[in-house]
Every structure is written in C-alpha cells, then in structure tokens.
Structure 1
Amino acid sequence: MKTITEKKQGVYTFGAKTADGNRNMKNLLGGKGANLAEMSRIGIPVPPGFTITTEVCTQYNQEGKKATIARIEEEVRAAIAGIEATMGTTFGDNQNPLLLSVRSGARVSMPGMMDTVLNLGLNDDSLQGIIQMTGNERFAWDSYRRFIQMYSGVVLGLKPETKQDLDPFEEIIDHLKDKRGILHDTQFSVQDLKDLVYDFKDIVRKRSGQEFPTDPWDQLWRAILAVFDSWNGERAVYYRKMNGYPEDWGTAVNVQAMVFGNMGEDSGTGVCFTRDAGSGENKFNGEYLINAQGEDVVAGVRTPQQITLLGSKRWAQLAQVTEEERKEKYPSLEELMPVSYRELFEYQRILENHYQDMQDMEFTIQKGKLWILQTRNGKRTGFAMVKIAMDLLKEGLIDKETALLRIDPPKLDELLHPVFDPEALKEAEVVAQGLPASPGAATGQIVFFADEAAKYKYSILVRVETSPEDVEGMHLAKGIVTARGGMTSHAAVVARGMGKCCVSGAGALKIDYKNRTLYAGGHEYHEGDWISINGSTGNILDGKVATREPELSGEFAEVMELADSFARMEVRTNADNPRDAAVARSFGARGIGLTRTEHMFFEVDRIKAMREMILADTVKGRKQALRELLPMQRSDFEGIFRAMEGLPVTIRLLDPPLHEFVPHQLATQKELAEDLHISLASVKSKVAELEEFNPMLGHRGCRLGNTYPEITEMQTRAILEAALNLKKEGITTRPEIMIPLVGTVEEFTQQKAIIDQTASDVFKRRKDTVEYLVGTMVEVPRAALLADRIAEHAEFFSFGTNDLTQMTFGYSRDDSGKFLPVYLAKGILKEDPFEVLDQEGVGQLVKMGTERGRQTRSHLKVGICGEHGGEPSSVEFCHRIGLDYVSCSPYRVPIARVAAAQAVIRG
C-alpha cells in the first residue's frame, strides 16, 4: 500500500477559487474530487468542500472504522471549519446550520453505482434554524424528508424486501399522492411534507429498531463510511468486473456545502452535456427541473425539461406535444431563466475547451445563483465517441494521436451491430413513443425484472424506472425501456455507457409488475412477448423488426484510415466462409489468418462422405470418400480466395479429433449404417474405437495428417486447385497452408513433404503454378521451445493462443467454467486467460517462439489467430514483441485496427 504524504493524511480541500488538488490527481482524489479542485482553480463557481482520498478507502477496507476515523478526524474537522467560514454557517448549529452533501467519486465514472447523501446535518432542531434562515417552511420540510429517505437507504440499509416491492418510502409517497389527487412532489403542502417526515421516521423505527440519528457529526461519519462501503456493494462490484476496473482502486468521498435547487420557482437543478452524448453532434443539451434536487433528475421520478430552446422543441416533437403546450408546460431553461442559462452556456464552453473533451456537468440554481456541482468527461455511445474525437481533431482542439487515444476500441463494437432495415420499419407498428436515450436497434422478449434478463437469449428490460441495483440486468438485456425519466436518467446514462439501446420516458406505457403485463398502443403484452425498440428515434415497435448489416462510413471510416496511418501490425480475420471473409474485408481486414477447414465438413451434404472416410478400414476406402469431398473443399476455397482477392489466406489443415464427426445417438448410427450398407455393430464399434479419454490432447491436428496422409493430400489438392482455377480468371491468390498442433520437427517435415509432393503433382498435371507458403500453428509449448529448429522448414508461424493457453495453464476450456469464476472472485487470476492473453506465461512463450524462430529465419512471418487477436491489451502486447499481424473474428477487425494504432502511439 502506498504511503500517504506527510502533508495530508487524506483530506484535500477545494472552493473559493483555491484547491489543494488538481485534475491530474484522479487516482488519489477520484474523478469527481480532482475535477472539483480543477474547477475551483479556474474560477468556476463550485460549492466549497473537501475530498477524502481513495487511499483512505483502501485503509478503511484493511483497518476498519476506528483507525480510519482516528487518522483523518483532525483534518476533516479543519476542512468543515473552512466550509463554515466560506458559507457563513455552522455545522451542527441549530440557528444557522450548515448542511452537507456526501458523494462517492472513483477515479473513473461509475454513474449510479455508489451512494450519495444530500441535506446531511438536518434534525428537528436545525430544521427550525433552516426555516428561520430562509423564511421558507416548505423548502425546509421538503429537504428534511429527502434527507431521511436517502440516509435511511444508503446508510441504514432500508431497502425493498423483494423485487416486487416498492421502496418503503416511495410507497408512502405514492399513497399520499393518490390520497391528495396530485401527480408531483412539488404539489405537496407543508403539512403533507410534515406527515411524510413523521411516517419516514416511523419506518426507520420499525425496520431498524432504532431512532433516526440526530447528531450531525454522527450522521457525517456514518455517511462517509457508507460511501466507502458502497465501493464493495453488489452493483459496484458488478460494474467494476464488467469494465475491468481493479478492486484496489477504491473510491474517494466528496463532502460539500449543500446548495439548494428546491427553494422555490427561482431555483432548480439539472444535468447538461457540451455535446450530444448519443449522436456526438456539437450541440449543447441537457435537462433540468424547477424546485428540485439533483437526484430527482437522474432518478426519473419526474420527467425533466430540456435546457435549450432547440432541444425543447425537438423533445416536444418526439413526445407529440404541441408548441403551445410546450411553451406553457415545458419551457426550456433558456426561456425560463435566461440569465442563468447564459452563465451555464459560458461555463460549459470554458470547461470543454479546458478539458478538450465533451463534458457531463451537474448544476444547481439556488434563488437565481448558479453553482456547478460536477464536471467529467461524459459517457457517450460508440457512435458519439467516434464523431466527437474526429470533430475535436478537425476543430484543432486535439491532435491525431489524442483523437485515436480517445477511441475505446471495445466500444467500436456498438457501431458494428445490425440496424433496423428501413423497409421493415415502414411496415412496423409504433405502439409507443419515448425519448431516444441511447441509439441502436434491439429486438427481444419482454422481461420486467432485472434479475430475470438472462431468461431469454434476446431480452428487452421494461421498467417504470431503473435503479442502480438493475445494472447487471441492464448489461444482459439487448435493450432497455422505461416509462419515466429523461435523457439524463439513470437508465439513459448507464445504457449509453454500456452501448445498450435505450428508450426512456415513454409515459404512455402502463406497466403492471404484479401481473407481468405491459399495455402500449392498444396492445397487451406479457412477459416473453416480442417488441422492438429504436434508440435513435425513441420508437417502441410491435413484434420483431428485421435488421441489416452496418456500414463502415463517415467518421467511422475516417478513424479507421487514421488508425492505419499509425499502425505497424496488420489485422487479419478468422473466417471459414466467403460471407465472413467479405464482411471482414469490408471492415479493413488485410487477409485471413485462420480458415478452419473442419467447419466445412459438418454441412448435410458433406458429413456423410466424411463419416464414410472415417469408417473406412483401408487407404483405398478412405481415398474414395475423400474424392467425394475434394470438389466440395475446392469450391469452398474458391469462394474464400475470391472474397480475399490479392490478400493472404491462411488455411489450417484438419484439426479436431475424428470422434467429433461421427454420430453418437443410436438413431443416427442406424441411419448411417443403412446409408453405407454396413452393420450397426460396425458403426458402433468404430465410434467406440474413436472415443478418447482426453480428445483435445489425443488423435488430432498434424497427428491425423501423419496417420492418414491421404487427408493432407486431399486438402492440399483442393487448396491449390482452387488457387489455379482463380488464376485462370485473373484473380490473384496467396494461399498459406498451416499444419496444426506440431510438437516435433519431424511432425512438421513429414506433413510438409506430403504438401510439397502434392503441389508438384497438381502443378505438373495442370501445367501451371501458384506461389504458396507452408507454416505451422504453434499451439504446443514444446513447439515454442523448438521454434528455431522448426523455422528451418516452416515459412511462417501463427500462434494459436486458445490451445496454447489450455496447454500452458493445464486448463480445459470446456471445463474451466467450474472454477474460473471462483479464481477470478478470489483474485487467484486477475483476468480470464481465455479472454485476455496471459502475458506473463503464455505471452512469454509467444515472445520466445518468435525470437527463436527469427534467429533461424530472419524474415519469418509471425502472427496470432486465437480469440486474443481482437482484445486490445493482447493486441498491444503482440505489437511490443514484434508480431507481423493479429487475426480475429470479422466484427472485431476495426477494434484490433485501432488497438494496433494505439500500441504505436503509447509505445
């Protein structure tokens, strides 16, 4: 654990145009704390406060409550005194009380994943002081009931008992609204709010067996520790795992003087973005609520209003509200509070220029005075990420290297998913309209509870509103719909961060959790029924709607061109058919790094001949069956070569054990026996003979080719004849024949001899030739150790990191699911080695094999073709050790291209 500096035990102050920290201290102060300090330094109006560092969080998790409080108590009390001096109020005083907010702040944005407490310091006595100070009894009681509700949930842990239950406090609020015949919290009378406070205290008493805490200092310490605890809360842990954030980062705690947006019609609160987080357009936008506190906007309890006039008019069109209704009921902040709007617009301009990135800001207006509560680099969709990076580059705010580093490679995946077919949309029925919270197209079956999102392969999570507890279900669902909330609600912000399609604020929806029923547009939908959602328009559509493939164009194409101008390594694809090859080429693949020939044998018209070959007892019988397969294989390769014209195509010879091709069900065995005119006993005997204790370490790969050389001969013939056929058409081919699973030099040389002899025969018979390479797939650790000797004969290496990981760790990919989750949870492994290349072990074998191979053959071509070829950190490792290319699935090609460029920039 790092030692905290002698200057401070862990408390850094900010406000009044001064600060102990700055924007570069995110690891220590968290993103929120570092940015609050930075804004204070550059003169942005920030409520004064202090940040307790992430290191204190780590110490708390190691040492506990007493030691943590003892370490920082003196500094916390001094920091509170500083806030008191700035605000002219006193914490814990009954006449002139200072109220505080307590918020989490990890080094990266984790919206809604950890906890917040507002209005801390209130009790029955200080409440009277607030009334005297403000002359606003309604505001005081409103703040008090909010504090009790939030503190009880966050600190005292009073949550709904089951997923069907409402929050106990919200249940009382809804009951009172029904009783009074009102819709919004702002319509509560002072007496209503008093009743809520008394009822809330009664819930605390009954649920916890204790009175609601009244001592402000006790409230503060318990809130600070609750925020630390929330770092290890269920939703935060899931979010960390989902994004790969380490557990030992911890969270900071930010304590600030409260400023109030619920002091009347001249007060409000909101969230804004310097650019559109969904589309990336350079348009200031956001949402606000009058007479509200910040959590109201993101919680979605009230549908907020739009900040700009342009946004308000667009929202009115989407919500099908007339311009007259909009002006009366939903005026923009620009119209309603023009002075505050102009200030806010100027601050957003300053902050975007200062941070040189799109900013997500929170603000409060108290009695006409504007305060900025937070700024951070805004969460954005993949589409917006690309557009904003390229626009900032064109505007001269950032350079090319920065623009590329602004691209999060995995997030490009969002741009590669299918979109709704325009023709299908013409026929689709729109059953409801919401706000386009996160773009994309999603079709799925309805689920109403987040913990049931995995019930269907394609699910759409439909909720009145989402909460942070729903994060896992949101991640698993294909799309999200909410009846409440706006463009900055929890559902919208989290969905954009995840790249999930989302429609929020669809107020016409009627959702019945108890009966698991949705009513929309005259339709009654039940759990499991299909709907479609368009996150780009806010439309909710009946049933399934057809989709089509995306295109690499516009700013996306510009990013790819920019990436290629920096990258040293090429990116190839793993493709087994012409369609995948064509898709990969359209995404910029520079060839095929792996074609698995066994996939071609499983089709109905081929499996019979394959089984006939396997069941044959003689070489003659096997050759007869292989002759039937030859034209099929040749046709396959022609299609792939045509799709990859002029580019290299690496074809792996037959790899899996033969038992995978034979039937194991009795009925299928009988059918095979009849087709081949042999006895059922013969079929069953051969199937039994092929069974192995550990087939992945058994009779497979080059062992098959060396046992049955006629298989290698047929496949080589098919490859080279296909290449010659295309040559006659004027199409250039570059075949690379790859021998799998080599562990000895002799295994390779004997297979290569068969390939070369077959090539000679084909060329002699056809009176023509094509260039071809023969190399090996390095999957066995022994091959990496003997790479210098194998390279005497092999013309290229391709590391098959899937099998190499299996054999290096001794983990079976098929069985590791029984223990890998436990290993990851216990920290035995930091990452799944089948998803992220193990650089310390497997990576060293790749590095060693490359170096030894090039000692013998200096220009040896080397790449990887395992699943790791599309994982950014693995791509960067491959660049560092000097590989020529990585190969990945077609839809990961753009991701690998950007990762390869970023590796050069970082290097």
Structure 2
Amino acid sequence: MQKHTKFEPFTEVTPTSPIAADSHGGRAKCLQRLVRLELPVPATVALPFETVHNIAKGHFPDTERLLGYFKEGTLLSVRPSSEDPDWGGPGAVLNIGMTDRRHLELSQTHGEDAAHSLYLRFIQAYAVHVARLDADDFDAMSPSAEGVKAALALFEEETEEQFPQDPARQLTQVMRSMARAWEGTTARLLRQARGAPADAGLGLVVQEMALGVGPGESGSGVIRFIDQATGEARINGRYRRQSLNRDALRKSDEAMYLVKDPRGASLQEEAPEAFKRLNRYADICRSRLREEMEIEFTIENGKLRVLDAVRTQRSTRATLKVAVSLAEEGIISRDDALLRLPPRALNELLHHQVDPAAKRDVIARGIAASPGGATGKLVFSGQAAQQCAARGEPCILVRRETTPEDIRGMHVAEGILTERGGMTSHAAVIARGLGLPCIVGASGLRLSVQRKTLQTADGRVFGEDDIISIDGSAGEAMAGAVPLLEPFFDDDFETFLGWAREAGDVGIRVNADSPEDARLALDFGAQGIGLCRTEHMFFEPERMAVMRGMIFAETEDDRSAALEQLLPMQREDFTALFEIMSGRPVCIRLFDPPLHEFLPSDREGMRQMAEALDLPLSDVIHRVDSLSEFNPMLGMRGVRLGVTMPQIYDMQARAIFEATVQASKAGDPVVPEIMIPLVSARREVELVKTRIDAVAAAVRNETQTEFTYRLGVMVETPRAALRAADIVQHSAFLSFGTNDLTQMTYGLSRDDADRFMGDYVRQGVYPEDPFHTLDVEGVGELLLLGAERARSQVPDVTLSVCGEHGGDPETIAFVRQAGFNYVSCSPYRVPVAQLAIAQLAIRDRKAIK
C-alpha cells in the first residue's frame, strides 16, 4: 500500500507555481521560466527533493492524482532535476504509459514503425533501469513487431512476471528506481567529486511526451547559438527526423544540419517556420534568462515543442566571451559578468593546456603544482636544459628535487617534473613564478641522475631525449607528445580583467625577481612588487662565481671586495625594476637562503669550483662541509646572516639606494621598500635598521640627493607573529610569508610533507593541504594575532601576505576579511587573485543591498 506524505508532494509547473531550484531542482525551475516566457512547453509536473527522498524509502505519493494532470493516454517522460545541473543525476526515462493497448492505438494513428519504436524503447529502459536487467540483451532487438514481442518475452523470462500494463505502476517504479539511484553510494561519491554536498537532493520532472515520430514533419533535435569552444555567435546542433530526445546528437549519421549547408539537408530549409521560431526563442531566453541556452525541441507533425532549455556547456574561453558580450549589450551588469567565472578557471586561458580530447598514456602522477601543459625531451640537469634551449629543442626538466643551481635550466625548460616536493617546494614556487607547468612529488618514479633514466611504476624506462608531456593542471606525466591548446588573451580577456580591477577593494602585487616578471605583472594589472627575492639574482654564472668567492673569503676585507663586485650588478637589477614599475611600490627582500645553496653538492661540482677559485679540492670540501647544517631552513639564513655577516645587507642596501637615485632621475620618485626576512625578535630589526639607515645617509651625502624608503619585516616565524607589537615599532609594514610560517607552525617540511599529506587529507586530519590553502584555524590565527597586536601599536601599519597563498582564492577571502592591505603572488596568479577579490567585493555589496 502506498504511504502518502503530509506536505504537497508534487506541483504542476505554471508561471505562478511555488517552485525553486533549492527545493525542486534547476531543471524544474528552468522549465517554469520557459513557461513564463510562453514557450511551447509540454504539460509538466515537478516533484520536490523531499518527495523523491521519501520515494527512495518506499513512501510514494498519490500517483493516480499525479497522472490526473495529464490527458488520459498521454505518454510521459521522467527526468532528473538536481539543484545544480553539473551534479548529474540518473538518466531520463521516456514513453512511460506504453502498454499493449497504447501500442495498438499508436500503430493506427502514428504508424506501426513509430509505435514499435516507442514501445521497444520503453521496454528497454524499464528493463535496464527498473528491473536491473542486462542492457546488452535488449539493445540488439530491432524496432519491429518481432522485436517488441521478443523484448516482452525476455522481460517475462528474466523477471518471472509480465511487463506492467498499468501506467500508474510504471510511473511509480520509474520514480522509485531514479530516487534510489540518486541515493546510492556510487552516485553520491560521483556528485561529491563534482562539488555537490553529501546531502544534495534530487527533484524529478514528469512531462508529457512530445512524439518526434509519426506522420508529417516529425523529429527531435538540439540547437545551440554559440560556439562551445570560443563563445562566438554560431548556430550549431543537429535535428533528426523520426526520433526522440537527443537522438540527433547520438546518431549523427542520420541527422540533418540546422543551418543551410552544402553537405546535406538542413532544418532551415526543410522546416523554415520551426527554425525561425527556435531563433526567436533563443533571443527571448538570452534577453530574459540572461544566458546562452541550449534548446531541446521536438517537432510532432509540424508542431514545435520545447522540452527543455539548459545553459549551453562551454569552455572557459567561451564562458568569458559570453559574459562580456551579455554585459556589453546591457543584458547583465559587469558585476554579474565577473561572477560567472570561477577565479581558478582563468588558469586555462593563461597557459598552454593539454587538449581534453587527447589520448593519455599516463606514466606518473603527482601534485599539480603549477598549471598548464608542455611537451619536450627529457633532461636531467639544468645544464642539459640550457643545451637543449641553445639547440632550439623543447625539454622537460626532471629532478629528484630542484635547487637554486637549477634556476637557469628551469628558465629555459618547457616544464618541470620532480620526484619529491610539495606545493611550496622550490620547484613549485619557481615554476608558478615562471608560468611553467610543474608536477612535484610524482609517485612511483625511480630517477637515476647518473644513468639519466626515469623508471615508472609499470617498469618502463625513459632516457635522455625521450619525449614526454606533463599536465601541471592535473598532475599527470604522459609518454610521448600530446596535443596542446594555446593560451588565450584577447580583447574580451583584457576587458574582463579591467572590470575585475575596478571592482576589487584589496591591493594586488606580484612576486617578481626579474624585468620579465615585472613587465608581465604590469600587463596583468599588478599594482607593484610585493616580494622581490634577491637571491634569485645571483645564479647567473658570472654572479655565481663572485658569490662563491664571497662565501670562501677568509677575511672581512676579502668578503667586502667580493661584495663590491656584486654591487653594480645588484644596482642594475634594482634600477631596471624601479624603472619598469614607474613609481609603483617595489618591496625588496634582503638576502634570505642559507649560503650552502650557492655551493655544489656533488664532488664534480666541487672540483670545478676548486679550479675556478684556484683552491685545493680539500679546502673546498672542508668549507662546504663547514657550511652544511642539519636543518638549514631553520639555521643560518635570513636576518641571521644580516646580523652575523652584515656586509651582505650593507651591499644590498647601497645597491637599492643608488638605484633609487638613478631611477628617480628618469621618472617618478622611487620609494623603495626593504624587507628583512625571518625575523623573530625586535633587536634583530634594530640592528639591521641601524646599518641600513647609515647606508642611506651615506648615499644621500655622496649623491647630494634626498630620498625616502620604507623598512619592513617578513613575518615567517610564529614568534614574529606573537611579538608583532614589539617588532612593528621599527617597521612601516609587516608582510606575512605564509610558506615558512605554515612550515614552522606545523613543524612540517614543505618539501617532504607530500609523502603523507594525501593520506592526512583523505582521513580528515587536515581538511586541505595547508601549503595549498591557508590553514585559517592555526596559521590564520597567527595572522590575526599578529595583525591585531601590530595595529595596537601602529594603527595604520601596512599588512600583506606575500607567500604562495597570496594567489589562492580561499586565502584571499580570509585576509580580506581581516583587513589586510594587499596580497602578493606569482605573475600568472595575479589575474586569479584579481577576480577572486572582485567577486568577494561584489558579493559583499549585494549582501548589503
């Protein structure tokens, strides 16, 4: 016996029905909109989420009353209606109500072929989706009298009961099967992977069938009005005579074109009135629904019916194009246009991408550390990458983990693959800055640098010059070359980013260490440089030799002499950045890494360095050993070098101030920002500030030029955040370096955490990799404490985030809420940050209204 619910279990879809996407699903709501627009939609009834949930548990609504909304003998379809169409759902079931009697009637009114086709199709669907029989047994049957008879016989044989001849029972069982399919474990996991909440509901739409079979012009089709790849206005789709639902797309060999085409018949020629009406409906949908819609339609004996209209599936490029077009035509606002594209989707436009249709022979999987696709020869050292580049050959640099010595090779490689590392490893950070696709922590690889081979988990071995491809967006490495899609920057892209910059309310700077990065960031609309890592400027061969000479200096005079050689190089670097940024702020971080990073780690490298410095090999080995540290990232680096070897910071400060004077002569006055890394105590700042102030005074006297500068601190240790009230008294700004701050807060090595981080996230220890998205409960608490304590002493202190989290939309939302002044990120993440900030600001304004 059926059990009836106390609430309204279903609703006829009319212009005034109480239907909403969050109660009845997106399809039901869209159909109601089409009805309001007076499009020829067949009679429709919508079942809300609660009813469908009850059906899954065996509590059915009054099916006879539901059928009462339709004319007797009407065939019906049942379609899923989830809140978001992207969450999927069970397949539609058509022709409900086909019985032996209805089959006979349709044979007389629509012809035997049409009747056989309708009945067989329903038997097949019912057998597979409701009775759970093998689809292969039914698919081979032909739409004929014999085929129908065989299908009915097979159903009876497999189920030991006759095929149901009661339309009410048919409908009840179809709804039950769809409801249970939605609540099954597999379906739940699939939709959760698409972003649906675990308790997402399903609605059902019961609709009168419009039969695209029978006498006269009858058929079905799907029509779109934009190119799904580009977003350009273009009618496409297919129409097939004597068909139902989306048959035209599935059986294109028998379908006709929509627009006149020399290759064959078209709907425009064969049914011109229907074609005109479809175009008119598209214009109505575009202007009233404010969207480009894909219309599913049926023609029954010349009568056009619209079964459904959904947002046209499209690429990111097309989504942006449509949003800009609708806004420029005044159909939607600029704010609404900006809300139509997820910020991270811009990565698809900023980088080469592996063609989604490409066949993939995956040889390794790892962390998708930097988006984009690349193909090239395997190389196993930075030097080999440079040699490839000199020959004009694209290459993929493969390393166990990259080091600063690999910088030049990374610059010329097409992509980077490492066996170790995480989201904030050296390879990941540099690759994002360069806009290179990168995979780190690739599992299952066995790398031999000596033999120059790469062995995969399935035993295949790849050597130098073998071709591989990497997809940094998916974290997959593939054998051979795969097709790549080009990056896409056009006028619409520039317009869209311009709107985002206007809508945003938090500053965006860039992490840039070279003129190329600075120019690119300006093209993307960055407001200045928030982090210039000066150590990246020392890895050219000429500079590396001088740097190593400084490290090996035995006296302060020798060290100063080596730094004197570096001074003009640094001055040239800073002058170029100041001139490119043209008065915009440039924040320069003083030397940060431990000195051993500038020394070779293998014996051959040490031998070459001994020759270059004219020293015994034993002296070089002894010096390298003496600089080695058990935990160098927590050792002699950052401000600790500035305090114990102050000549390094003295040289950099002089280079900054001399560049300031030089650049100010040619353009707007430069106000450099100097940032002290890895501070933990106020006294460290006092010591460094005293020397920098002295250098500034000396340069002013020597050049007879006045200039100002701002000194600040990079907050990377928990103690610096906790003691921010002390530190800020000598600082014009605090910039939180969330890479190291996360590492030190967790007590995790950011280069090694990937070995277990996946398991931790899967088992719910951490909701997300904290090196990927800011840990707002732990690291975020330190940011809030640091900001609050700093502002208690200096209310107008400038606060920012300059770690890799600065380009993460979720992190941006957190620091914006905390009132930080700006974020700084890699050049290719600037557009992503701009859109994320714009969307947050827009949503806040809408909430106030």
CA distance in structure 2 between the partners assigned to 1:155 and 1:668 by the alignment: 70
Q: 1:139 aligns with which of 114, 117, 120?
A: 114
Answering whether residue 217 of structure 2 is matched by residue 266 of structure 1, we say yes
- Counterpart in 1 of 2:599? 662
Give aligned pairs, total.
733
- Counterpart in 1 of 2:12? 14
- Counterpart in 2 of 1:108? 84
1:737 Cα deviation after fit: 0.9
Q: Is the 8 A contact 2:179 2:202 kept in 1?
A: no
CA distance in structure 1 between the partners assigned to 2:23 and 2:694 by the alignment: 66
CA distance in structure 1 between the partners assigned to 2:57 and 2:469 by the alignment: 57
CA distance in structure 1 between the partners assigned to 2:346 and 2:650 by the alignment: 42
Q: Is the 8 A contact 1:117 1:150 kept in 2?
A: no
- Three-state SS of the structure 2 residue aligned to 1:589 is coil
- Partner amino acid, structure 2, of 1:864: V
- Three-state SS of the structure 2 residue aligned to 1:717 is helix
CA distance in structure 2 between the partners assigned to 1:651 and 1:528 by the alignment: 39
- Counterpart in 2 of 1:381? 315
Q: Is the 8 A contact 1:446 1:530 kept in 2?
A: no
Deviations 1:557-610 (A, max 9, x none): 333333333333222111111111101101111111111122222333333333
Q: 1:834 aligns with which of 753, 760, 771?
A: 771
- Counterpart in 2 of 1:503? none
CA distance in structure 2 between the partners assigned to 1:115 and 1:587 by the alignment: 43
The 1:280–1:232 alpha-carbon spacing in structure 2 relative to 1, beyond 3 Å, is same
Answering whether residue 730 of structure 2 is matched by residue 793 of structure 1, we say yes
- Three-state SS of the structure 2 residue aligned to 1:819 is helix
The 1:30–1:841 alpha-carbon spacing in structure 2 relative to 1, beyond 3 Å, is farther
- Three-state SS of the structure 1 residue aligned to 2:588 is strand
Deviations 1:623-653 (A, max 9, x none): 3433333333222222222221211111112
Matches within 5 A, 1:408-423: 408-417=342-351
Q: 1:82 aligns with which of 66, 69, 89?
A: 66
Q: Is the 8 A contact 1:148 1:197 kept in 2?
A: yes
Q: Is the 8 A contact 1:870 1:895 kept in 2?
A: yes
- Counterpart in 2 of 1:347? 281
- Counterpart in 1 of 2:495? 558
Matches within 5 A, 1:206-221: 214-215=163-164, 216=170, 217-221=172-176
1:18 Cα deviation after fit: 5.7
- Counterpart in 1 of 2:433? none
Matches within 5 A, 1:23-172: 25-54=20-49, 69-70=56-57, 72-73=59-60, 75=61, 77-78=62-63, 81-89=65-73, 98-103=75-80, 105-110=81-86, 113-119=88-94, 121=96, 125=100, 128=103, 131-132=106-107, 134-143=109-118, 146=121
The 1:372–1:595 alpha-carbon spacing in structure 2 relative to 1, beyond 3 Å, is same
Q: 1:190 aligns with which of 130, 144, 152?
A: 144
- Three-state SS of the structure 2 residue aligned to 1:397 is coil
Q: Is the 8 A contact 1:120 1:219 kept in 2?
A: no
- Counterpart in 2 of 1:622? 559
Q: Is the 8 A contact 1:802 1:867 kept in 2?
A: yes
Deviations 1:111-167 (A, max 9, x none): 8x54313236588857845754754333344445555666677678899xxxxxxx9
- Three-state SS of the structure 2 residue aligned to 1:836 is coil
CA distance in structure 2 between the partners assigned to 1:640 and 1:403 by the alignment: 34
The 1:669–1:8 alpha-carbon spacing in structure 2 relative to 1, beyond 3 Å, is farther
Answering whether residue 181 of structure 2 is matched by residue 226 of structure 1, we say yes
1:862 Cα deviation after fit: 1.9
In structure 2, list runs of 5 or more residues that go unmatched.
165-169, 367-371, 377-414, 416-465, 471-479, 845-849
CA distance in structure 2 between the partners assigned to 1:847 and 1:838 by the alignment: 12
CA distance in structure 2 between the partners assigned to 1:671 and 1:727 by the alignment: 42
- Partner amino acid, structure 2, of 1:101: V
Q: Is the 8 A contact 2:734 2:798 kept in 1?
A: yes
- Three-state SS of the structure 2 residue aligned to 1:232 is helix
The 1:279–1:717 alpha-carbon spacing in structure 2 relative to 1, beyond 3 Å, is same
Q: 2:265 aligns with which of 318, 330, 335?
A: 330
- Counterpart in 2 of 1:490? none
CA distance in structure 2 between the partners assigned to 1:55 and 1:407 by the alignment: 31
Instruction: Let me know the Cα RMSD of the aligned residues.
Output: 4.2
- Partner amino acid, structure 2, of 1:354: R
Q: Is the 8 A contact 1:447 1:528 kept in 2?
A: no
- Partner amino acid, structure 1, of 2:593: P
Q: Is the 8 A contact 2:295 2:309 kept in 1?
A: yes
- Counterpart in 1 of 2:333? 399
- Three-state SS of the structure 1 residue aligned to 2:70 is helix
Q: 1:239 aligns with which of 194, 199, 211?
A: 194
CA distance in structure 1 between the partners assigned to 2:797 and 2:701 by the alignment: 28
The 1:811–1:30 alpha-carbon spacing in structure 2 relative to 1, beyond 3 Å, is farther
Q: 2:299 aligns with which of 365, 390, 393?
A: 365
- Counterpart in 2 of 1:505? none
Matches within 5 A, 1:766-781: 766-781=703-718
| Range with greater deviation from structure 2 (739-748 or 817-826) | 817-826
- Sequence identity of aligned pairs in percent? 35
- Partner amino acid, structure 1, of 2:72: G
Answering whether residue 229 of structure 2 is matched by residue 294 of structure 1, we say no
Answering whether residue 523 of structure 2 is matched by residue 586 of structure 1, we say yes
CA distance in structure 1 between the partners assigned to 2:32 and 2:484 by the alignment: 50
- Three-state SS of the structure 2 residue aligned to 1:650 is strand
- Partner amino acid, structure 1, of 2:84: V
CA distance in structure 1 between the partners assigned to 2:614 and 2:149 by the alignment: 87
Q: Is the 8 A contact 1:12 1:21 kept in 2?
A: no
Deviations 1:481-513 (A, max 9, x none): xxxxxxxxxxxxxxxxxxxxxxxxxxxxxxxxx
The 1:904–1:662 alpha-carbon spacing in structure 2 relative to 1, beyond 3 Å, is same
- Three-state SS of the structure 2 residue aligned to 1:859 is coil
- Counterpart in 1 of 2:434? none
TM-score, structure 1 as length reference: 0.71
CA distance in structure 2 between the partners assigned to 1:628 and 1:684 by the alignment: 25
CA distance in structure 2 between the partners assigned to 1:795 and 1:409 by the alignment: 31
- Three-state SS of the structure 1 residue aligned to 2:309 is strand
1:32 Cα deviation after fit: 1.7
- Three-state SS of the structure 2 residue aligned to 1:376 is strand
CA distance in structure 1 between the partners assigned to 2:537 and 2:215 by the alignment: 71
The 1:198–1:640 alpha-carbon spacing in structure 2 relative to 1, beyond 3 Å, is farther
- Counterpart in 2 of 1:568? 505
Matches within 5 A, 1:514-553: 551=489
CA distance in structure 2 between the partners assigned to 1:637 and 1:196 by the alignment: 83
CA distance in structure 1 between the partners assigned to 2:96 and 2:363 by the alignment: 39
The 1:108–1:603 alpha-carbon spacing in structure 2 relative to 1, beyond 3 Å, is farther
Deviations 1:837-890 (A, max 9, x none): 334443343333233322322322222222232333433333332222222222
The 1:616–1:293 alpha-carbon spacing in structure 2 relative to 1, beyond 3 Å, is farther
- Partner amino acid, structure 2, of 1:190: S
CA distance in structure 2 between the partners assigned to 1:528 and 1:826 by the alignment: 37
TM-score, structure 2 as length reference: 0.75
CA distance in structure 1 between the partners assigned to 2:162 and 2:21 by the alignment: 33
- Three-state SS of the structure 2 residue aligned to 1:737 is strand
CA distance in structure 2 between the partners assigned to 1:453 and 1:156 by the alignment: 41
CA distance in structure 1 between the partners assigned to 2:614 and 2:585 by the alignment: 43
| Range with greater deviation from structure 2 (228-237 or 672-681) | 228-237
The 1:130–1:379 alpha-carbon spacing in structure 2 relative to 1, beyond 3 Å, is same
CA distance in structure 1 between the partners assigned to 2:598 and 2:683 by the alignment: 27
- Counterpart in 2 of 1:519? none
The 1:840–1:126 alpha-carbon spacing in structure 2 relative to 1, beyond 3 Å, is farther
CA distance in structure 2 between the partners assigned to 1:567 and 1:400 by the alignment: 13
1:774 Cα deviation after fit: 0.8
- Three-state SS of the structure 2 residue aligned to 1:837 is coil
Q: Is the 8 A contact 1:118 1:258 kept in 2?
A: no
